[in-house]
């Protein structure tokens, strides 16, 4: 069975593996039987900010898709200090994880999940 779970991180500060692991342990302690490798879609913490996540989060969760709520124009700006940060986008690219930027100009993200019964 393929993964179908979503993990929305909000403004969590998950800058290193220990913080990411602590969050995962906390979340899945309360949902018996859940595993973090069931997560298919991850929202990037704080709009893809460089100050809220690093490679360790994406390595740990291994999502198939990362959704970034930010502005597409910032992603294409070489002087970008805004969200999403270009270093985070490069990190996600290097890990060969797909990402989509959902911005306020109508660039929403939709996902359909098909269950086999």
* Closest to 40 in 3D by CA, of 64, 69, 59: 64
Q: Is 63's pLDDT higher than 80?
A: yes
The model scores a pTM over 0.85: no
pLDDT at 114: 54
What is the band of 57 on the pLDDT scale with cuts at 50, 70, 90?
confident
Tens digits of residue pLDDT in 6-30 = 888 888 888 877 887 787 777 765 5
Cα–Cα dist 77/40, whole Å: 28
pLDDT of residue 6: 83
Pairing mode, strands 65-69 and 39-43: parallel
- pLDDT confidence of residue 115: 54
pLDDT digits (tens, 9 = 90+) for 76-90: 555 555 778 888 999
- CB burial of 7-32 (b: ≥16 within 10 Å; e: otherwise) equals bebeebebbeeebbeebbeeeeeeee
Q: What is the largest CA-CA distance in the chain?
A: 49
- Please determine, for residue 51, whether its predicted confidence score (pLDDT) is greater than 70: yes
């Amino acid at each position: 069975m393929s993964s179908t779970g979503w993990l929305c991180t909000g403004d969590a500060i998950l800058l290193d593996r220990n913080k990411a692991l602590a969050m995962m342990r906390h979340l899945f302690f309360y949902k018996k039987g859940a595993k973090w490798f069931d997560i298919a879609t991850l929202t990037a913490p704080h709009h893809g900010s460089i100050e809220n996540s690093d490679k360790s989060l994406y390595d740990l969760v291994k999502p198939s898709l990362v959704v970034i709520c930010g502005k597409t124009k910032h992603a294409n700006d070489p002087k970008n200090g805004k969200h999403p940060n270009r270093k985070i986008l490069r990190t996600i690219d290097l890990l060969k994880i797909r990402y989509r930027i959902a911005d306020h100009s109508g660039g929403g993200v939709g996902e359909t999940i098909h269950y086999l019964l």
